Structure 1
Amino acid sequence: MVNVARLKPVGRRSLLRGGIAAAAAGTALSGCSTGSASPARGETKVVRYQGWSGEVLYPELAADLGLLADVRLEWIGNTTSGPQDIQATVTGDIDMGGAFNGAIIRLIAAGAPIRAVVGYYGADADTLAGYYVLEGSPIRGPRDFIGKKVGVNTLGAHHEDVLAIYLERGGLSEDEIRSVQLVVVPPVSAEQALRSGQLDVSVLSDIKRDKAIARGGIQPVFTDFDLLGAFTGGCYVLRDDFIAANPATTRTVVAATARAVRWAQTRPREEVMARFTDIIQRRGRNEDTSSVRYWKSTGVAGPGGRIADREFGIWLDRSVEDGRVDAGQLDVDQLYTNEFNPF
């Protein structure tokens, strides 16, 4: 059992800026050279990445589908969050990482030389994140969140920014929005923390949401799909120096990942789940495959993970409004490219 009372709400802006600044500074000092080939030595054919326990990433699916040609993936371990994954990309510990688009924006604003290249998760009618309360809770709308504790999986990511937009659209001021206390809780503990009264609201998604709903006694105040419609929420990124030094490898891995996303978008759900289960069992990482049974859709809006302006513009506007990115500092076309995506 996680004692949420001991997990004090974190100063969102200061913590996020500190972590991003450290990653960006590390990049500047290292020259972003780790793992990247120079054109004179020829391109690397190995792309390092971090995984997620019990899940299949789309580059992994691409490899299993035989789409990577002469490029090989190298798994170096599992990540703890999207922001951590793209910071590891910035520092050169890995070559390709993925995170929420808003986190990508703030890392680029801090000076990180990365670019989003293909979308990999999002929200639709089947795959979404909900902000849940206990039945009978007085929290029914935006103003009811003032001063309340909301459990999220990590700071500076999808759940925080979606909540901020919901509250802003509900008429709350910046000071009122900042009064909402975000508490970082492992997703596996989010339901229990809500039911025990340690949190007023918990964000639940995927298998955690479905199991919690089946147990009853909770209800959503809103979901990200209710708020924003279908959208791609997160993308894989590559460093600029990796792209420059390895253009053919970049095109291969991004195009293969896009085709894997499209495969999952267009195949029957049962076929996708069976393939994911088989991949997890064969790769031998001592993982539980039960979560695959709860997979419903990719949640990716664009065909093959093609990125739309809106999917970065909405988070860029929000980052400017709350002061985490300076007005005029970034344009949307600096944040992503569809150049390598065959769709």
Structure 2
Amino acid sequence: MTPFEMNNQTFVTEFIFLGFSNHSNLQGLFFLVFLVIYLTTLLGNMLIIMATRVSPALHTPMYFFLSNLSFLDICYTSTTIPVLLVNFFREKKTISYEGCLSQIFFFVTSAGTECVLLAAMAYDRYVAICRPLQYPVLMSMKVSVCLVAGSWLCGLVNSATHTVLATMLTLCGPNQISHFLCDIPLLLKLACSDTSVNESVLHVASATIGLSPCLFTAGSYTLIISAILRIPSAQGRRKAFSTCASHLTVVVVFYGTANFNYDRPREGYSLDMDILVSVLFCVVTPMLNPIIYSLRNKEVKSALRKLAGGCAFPCNINV
């Protein structure tokens, strides 16, 4: 292909992933590790969803948000891991152009929605602890549905904007992505056309979809912790903190790995380090969320035990 043809190429048909390419002798081991992580993520989050549906004690806004978070985590990992698992058995690890754009759309949708949803969950905990008498009104099921719908809408609009702008890029070789997934910043590196609009939208989205929910969540927990510290009894403080400990842990893990993945300096890091950091954010975090809620929340643990008991003894059904 001549330089002229390269600079006018707009019909890229596939991208080649370079992630894990430095360890060809470990492909089988990587496949098993990621398969176990994926199955654990699916099972854990599906159990959380089922538990919140069948247990009357979990029919509250807090657990309505949790079931949506679990569904998001399933979408999140299902966007990237299946393609990764297939590529472990392929000498040339590729994804089609359309597949790459689809992966970007669903990946960015899931990430953006989760940012806003975590902020909605923080607001729920703020109302429960700081304004408990107004909780039934301020956090009615109608309000909860609107907050979840708003979270999805923010994620979808943000993702659709990035994806549409990505289709307008002129891409020129090599069509190699130094990663195991498609993402907006990675695609911009392959463009030979002007990317200023894409980058500006990316910065605006980082502030509105990423930073703003994070600051809102941090502000909510500042007020929550302040209110908890004013509770006179130690037992009361422990009980109040236990209602938000799981969510606070999930928030710290999510934003901690996201910040390290996107905001750290790129210089001085090898491809293997970039891959490891992204694995923590994109793969491990969705697996940890149901584990955190299962270990730290008594109501969830009780519902899961009842669910497991019902599955183990189906003969108790009346005939």
TM over 0.5: no
Which structure dedicates a bigger proportion of its chain to helix? 2
Which structure dedicates a bigger proportion of its chain to strand? 1
Point out the structure with max Rg over C-alpha.
2
